[in-house]
Amino acid sequence: MRVLIVDDDALVAQSLSTILSVEDDVDVVGLGSSGPEAIERYRELAPDILLMDIQMPGGDGLSAAEQILAEDAGARIVFLTTFSDDEYIVRALKMGSRGYLIKQDVAQVAPALRSVMAGVCVLEGEVLERSATMGLSARPQASGTDRGREHQDPRSTAFAALTDREYEVVEAVAEGLDNGEVAARLFMSEGTVRNHISAILAKLGLRNRTQVAVMYYRAAQTG
């Protein structure tokens, strides 16, 4: 697989290149240090996978990924970052990235990239096992030509156990709304929102609202 690495820390980028280059099936085709450079080098090199940091001076990785995916819907973008903020994770998955890895787990990068090439979305350094705990299925990603048709209503599958009101809460949570904002949108009290979220987590076997959002976007993408 041909991999492009983009990280504003030159030492990190070079270290990743060294680690990945010893793998027989990995060819590091280029390095970059900013969002704009990621876009430029992606266009130039057309890698199989773009492995990219999020917070970088001169242009963040999330914005760069959104532009790349707008130009190439089939792009395989994997974020490798020190930040595990809910906002970043949800935004990354919502745009259609193929993975979100944490830098402390560098040993898992190569196996994770192989899983991405096989069509599995990887999360926080864990491959299929982590997805399974969120109630996600490891179905192959759609090709660029099919991506426009792949976003189906996940209600009939992953969220079938929820009531209509609970599903409305799920949709709001997936948009990144906090409890107050959900309450205002759905005309209910924050206490009622908290009760709905507790019920949703119990029914779906999830631990937190981030997992709810992740499940929502993965279910929508896989249909």
Residues 190, 114, single domain; the answer is no
What DSSP character marks residue 134? Answer: T
Residues 169, 83, single domain; the answer is no
Q: Which of residues 87, 116, 149 is at a domain's end?
A: 149
Residues 120, 14, single domain; the answer is yes
Element (H, E) at 78: strand 77-81
CB 22 within 8 A of CB 51: no
Helix (DSSP H) and strand (DSSP E) numbers for the chain: 11, 6
pLDDT of residue 222: 58
pLDDT of residue 78: 94
Residues 164, 109, single domain; the answer is no
pLDDT of residue 2: 96
Residues 162, 129, single domain; the answer is no
- Across the range 90-115, mean pLDDT stands at 82
Tell me, letter by letter, the H, E, C secondary structure of 165-193: HHHHHHHHHHCCCCHHHHHHHHCCCHHHH
Number of domains in the chain: 2
Residues 98, 37, single domain; the answer is yes
CB 117 within 8 A of CB 76: yes
- Across the range 117-125, mean pLDDT stands at 73
Residues 119, 29, single domain; the answer is yes
Residues 94, 159, single domain; the answer is no
Residue 173, burial from CB neighbour count under 10 angstroms (0-12, 13-18, 19+) = buried
Q: Domain with 138 in it: what CATH number?
A: 3.40.50.2300
Q: Domain with 194 in it: what CATH number?
A: 1.10.10.10
Residues 183, 133, single domain; the answer is no
pLDDT of residue 84: 66
Q: Which of residues 149, 177, 209 is at a domain's end?
A: 149
Res. 29: pLDDT tops 80: yes
Residues 138, 57, single domain; the answer is yes
- How many Å apart are CA 219 and CA 155, to the nearest integer? 9
CB 40 within 8 A of CB 50: no
Q: For residues 6 and 204, which has the higher predicted lDDT (pLDDT)?
A: 6
Residues 165, 109, single domain; the answer is no
pLDDT of residue 171: 87
CB 155 within 8 A of CB 166: no
Q: Find the domain containing 36 and state its range.
A: 2-149
- How many Å apart are CA 195 and CA 95, to the nearest integer? 29
Residues 163, 145, single domain; the answer is no
Strand partners, 221: none
Element (H, E) at 155: none
- How many Å apart are CA 90 and CA 88, to the nearest integer? 6
